[in-house]
A and B are shown apart, each in its own frame.
Chain A
C-alpha cells in the first residue's frame, strides 16, 4: 500500500470519526437510534459547498453547515420529544425530508468545489508538506480537539444529566433532569458533528453530491462498535477515542480490501472483504483474551476443576 493510499485511508477514517462521535452521542449516550445522519451528512456538504461556490468564506461556510446539521437534529428530537413520534421513525422522516431540503439548497444534485478555496487551502500554503499529508494532519488535530471537547462535555454537569437521560430516563426525571431538553441538545449536537464531517468531506472530495449520505449510519455504527471492541472503554474519553480509532480501522480495512487484488479478489468483492476484515479486527482481540485466560487457568493448576 502506498503512502498516499494509507494517508487517504487515515483521512477518510478521521473524517468519519466525526460521524462516529455523533453516532456515539445519539446511539450510545442517549440510546436514540438516529438515522437522521444519512441526511445531515449531505446537508452539511451541500450547505458548505453552496456557500463556498457563491463566494462565502470557507470557514464561515463550514460553521453554517455545523449549525444546519444541529437544526436537522433538533427537528428529529422535537418530533420525538414534543410530538411523541417513535425515535426511529422521527429520524427516518427527517432523513427523507432532508433529501428534498438538500436538493433545494444545492439547486442540483452535484455542486462541484474543485479549484475553490477551502478550509484546507491556507494550511497547504502554511505547512511545508506535500498536500496528501496536510489534510490528514489537520483532521487529526481537529479530531483530537473534538474528542477532548466531547469528553469535557459529557463529564460536565449537563453531560452527566444527558448520560442519565440515556441510561435511565425515569430516574433522571426523578432527579430533576429535563430529559426532553437533554434529548434535543444531544441529537442536535450529534447531527451538527455529522454535518461538519459532510462539509469537510465535500471540501476534500471536490464536490457535494446528493448521494453521499447513503450508508452513513452504517459506517458510523461500525466505527462505534469496532472502537468499543478495540478499546473496551471504561471512561468517556476512551469511548470517544475508540470511535475515532474504530473509524480509522474501518477505513484501513477498506484500503486493504482495495489492495486485495493479488488474492484473485475483484472490485465487486469490496464490501464483503471489508466486512470480513472488520469481523477479524473485532474477534482477534477477544480470541487473544480467551487464550490468555485459558493459559492463566492452566497455570493456576485448575483448582476450580470442571470448567
Chain B
C-alpha cells in the first residue's frame, strides 16, 4: 500500500514537471540575495515581459543564489553551462567571473551589477566586448555625485569617505573619487571600516578632518548607515550618499540610480540576445538615469542649509 502511494506520488511529480515546451531557457545566478541584486533580477524579468515574453511560459527562468560562497558560485555556473541555456544572467562580479570561466564562450553570458567589467576581465573592451559576453555595469557616476555635493555645499573642500577596503566595488569607487577630486579642488580623507561593526568608529575618525562625508554604494557602510548619519548630526557634518535608499535613513541628500533600472536595461540586452544578436557585439551599458533625493530634516540637523536651486532639481524631498 505504502509503496503504491509512493509510486503514485512519484508519477504525479514526473507528470507535473515537464511543463509546456518552452521557447527559451534563461538561467539566473547571483552571488548573494540582497535588495539591490534582487531588484536587478526583478527588473530584467519585467523588461522581458514588456517585450512580450511570458516569463515562465515562453521563457524557462531558473534562479540560483550562491549565498555568498564563491565555491558554490562556481558549481552553479557549471550546472548552468551543462544545461546549455540560451542565456546565463550572472549578477555581481564573482558570479559573473564564475559564469564566464565555466561557459568558455559556449553559452552567452549577460552580466549585471558589475562595477568594472574590464578590470574583472569579463570583457576586453566596453564598446566591443567580443567573446560571448556583455552586460550592464553599476559603476556609480562619481563625477555627477561630486557635482551634486558641490551644488549642495559650495564651500566643500575636504571630503570624508568611509569605506570597506575589502569590498571590490567600494575600493574601485574610492580610487575613482581620489582620481577625480583634484579636478574639483577637493581633498579626500578616507576611513577604513572592514565590517559593519567598525562603521561608527570610522565615521567618528573623520570628525574635525572633513567638511562633509560621502558614503558610496558600499554594502558594509549601507548596512550600518545610521551610525554615519548619527555622527553627521552630532558633529554638524553633512552626510551625502550614492544611494537614494538611505535618504530616509538620515542622509542629507543622495544622488543615485535605481537597481531596478539596471535590471530593465539588462532585460533588454537579454531579449536582444534571445532574438539572435551576438553578445560580443553589444556594448557594455551604464546607468542612464540618476535620481536626487533630499532629506530636509537631516540636512538641518547636520547644519546644512540647502540652496533653493538645489532643491528645485530634486526628484523627491523629505520634509
Contacts and interface: CB of A to CB of B under 8 A. Distances in A.
Interface of A: 1-9, 11-12, 15-16, 99, 103, 108-110, 112-115, 131-132, 201, 204-207, 209-212, 214-215, 219, 251, 254-255, 258-259, 261-262, 267-268, 270-271
Query: Which of A16, A255, A259 has the most chain B CB within a 10 Å cutoff?
Result: A255
B70 A209 contact: yes
A9 B102 CA distance: 12
B74 A268 contact: no
B269 interface: no
A211 B97 contact: no
B119 A99 contact: no
A8 B166 contact: no
B134 to A, nearest CB: 14
Nearest to B120: A112
Given A112-B119, A212-B71, 13 more contacts: A5-B83, A12-B75, A114-B100, A114-B120, A114-B122, A201-B71, A205-B73, A205-B97, A209-B93, A211-B94, A255-B75, A262-B17, A270-B64
Contacts of A114: 97, 100-101, 120-122
Contacts of B94: 110, 207, 209, 211-212
A131 B81 CA distance: 12
Interface of B: 13, 17, 33, 62-65, 67-79, 81-83, 93-94, 97-98, 100-102, 104, 119-122, 124, 165-168, 171-172, 194
A8 B122 contact: no
B64 A267 contact: yes
Contact of A261 (B62, B78, B120, B122): B62
A209 B67 contact: no
Contacts of B124: 115
A108 B78 contact: no
6 contacts: A108-B168, A110-B94, A114-B121, A132-B81, A209-B97, A267-B67
A211 B68 contact: yes
A211 B166 contact: yes
Contacts of A12: 71, 74-75
Contact of A2 (B77, B79, B93, B104): B79
A4 B103 CA distance: 10
Contacts of B13: 262
B156 to A, nearest CB: 28
Contact of A109 (B71, B83, B100, B167): B167
